[in-house]
Amino acid sequence: MARIEQNFDQWQNQPAAYAPRKPRRKIRPKATCCLVFLFFVLVFFLIGLAALAKTGLVQIPFFSDVFYQIPQPSRVVEVDEAALADFQQGLDIQADQGVATLRLSEEELTYILRQLLASQKDQIFASNVQAVISEEGIEVFGLLLKPTKVNLTIDITPQLAQGKLTFALSRVKVGGLLAPTFLVNWLKSNFLDAKLAELNQQLSRAGQIQSFRLAEGYLEISGQLDLSGLKN
């Protein structure tokens, strides 16, 4: 009997590693999937808030302070509207063997753009709209008034087809965020296409255009030009 008690005492004094272990709780796969799903939903939600705040369309506490910066154009175009009121008479035109070359500065293009928008009954852009001309294209910057107030930066590419110079929309930034394709298409179809069509119609009166050249600060157009169409 004493020997049995001694063996029992020895078994009780064994290290804990040899003691029976409690069964571990199993993590349910469904619960893990739900947690992962909720995590990704939260991440995408935060990214969406940050992107929306960056556009400036709405004011979102904390996110707007962190992500939104007031957009600025590549450079500010100063326009003396009094000096450009009769700008057609002062256009830089050079003729060579029947081919005329018209140089249009970004100040003059900005003036034309503002006059074109001001003539509309339902203005969609504020009067601060401007056009910057560079070798890559034309940047139009301004405050969109409708359907909501937001700063837009629109990159426009001139194109020549059948003797006519037209302008095509290449890129749009809403606030500080590059607009996705579906939003660009929506802006084009609802607002910008009509304005571009009017500008293209005005330029089509200039005559037969043979070539054009973009440079820093100005646009050169060469061809059989008739500027009387631009004055009307």
Burial class (CB in 10 A: 0-12, 13-18, 19+), 39: exposed
How many angstroms separate the CA atoms of 152 and 141, rounded? 6
Q: How many domains does the chain have?
A: 2
- How does DSSP classify residue 125? B
Out of 13-22, 63-72, 77-86, 172-181, pick the least confident. Answer: 13-22
Answer with the one of 35, 68, 101 that is the final residue of a domain: 68
Tell me, yes or no, whether 158 and 210 share the same domain: yes
Tell me, yes or no, whether 119 and 54 share the same domain: no
Residue 155 region, left (φ>0) first, then alpha (ψ -120 to 50), else beta? beta
- Is residue 91 over pLDDT 80? no
Asked whether residue 13 is domain-assigned, the answer is: no
pLDDT at 227: 58
How many angstroms separate the CA atoms of 35 and 39, rounded? 6
Tell me, yes or no, whether 96 and 205 share the same domain: yes
Comparison of pLDDT for 8 and 173, the residue scoring more: 173
Q: pLDDT (tens digit, 9 = 90+) per residue, 110-155?
A: 998 888 888 777 788 888 899 999 999 999 999 988 878 889 999 9
How many angstroms separate the CA atoms of 17 and 6, rounded? 21
Tell me, yes or no, whether 214 and 133 share the same domain: yes
Rounded to an integer, the average pLDDT of 7-30 is: 57
> Can you give 11-50 as a three-state secondary structure string?
HHCCCHHHCCCCCCCCCCHHHHHHHHHHHHHHHHHHHHHH
Torsion of CA 121, 125, 129, 134, to 10 degrees: -110
Asked whether residue 2 is domain-assigned, the answer is: no
pLDDT at 103: 87
What is the Cα 123 distance to its own chain's centre?
20
Tell me, yes or no, whether 141 and 222 share the same domain: yes
Please provide the distance, in angstroms rounded to a whole number, between the alpha carbons at the two ends of the chain. Answer: 125
Q: Residue 222 contacts by C-beta under 8 Å, 6 or more apart in sequence?
A: 99, 100, 101, 102, 209, 210, 211, 212, 213
Tell me, yes or no, whether 119 and 224 share the same domain: yes
Asked whether residue 80 is domain-assigned, the answer is: no
Asked whether residue 1 is domain-assigned, the answer is: no
Asked whether residue 142 is domain-assigned, the answer is: yes
pLDDT at 87: 59
pTM over 0.85: no
Tell me, yes or no, whether 99 and 40 share the same domain: no
Distances (CA, A) of 153 to 129, 150, 210: 10, 10, 29
Tell me, yes or no, whether 180 and 99 share the same domain: yes
Tell me, yes or no, whether 101 and 145 share the same domain: yes
Give percent above pLDDT 70 in the chain: 72
Look up residue 197 and give its two tokens: 């069509």
Indicate the average pLDDT of the chain.
Answer: 78
Q: Tell me the pLDDT band of 106, cut-offs 50, 70 and 90.
A: very high
Q: pLDDT (tens digit, 9 = 90+) per residue, 46-90?
A: 888 888 888 877 788 888 788 888 889 999 999 887 766 665 555
Tell me, yes or no, whether 131 and 46 share the same domain: no
Residue 28, domain extent = 23-68
Tell me, yes or no, whether 92 and 30 share the same domain: no
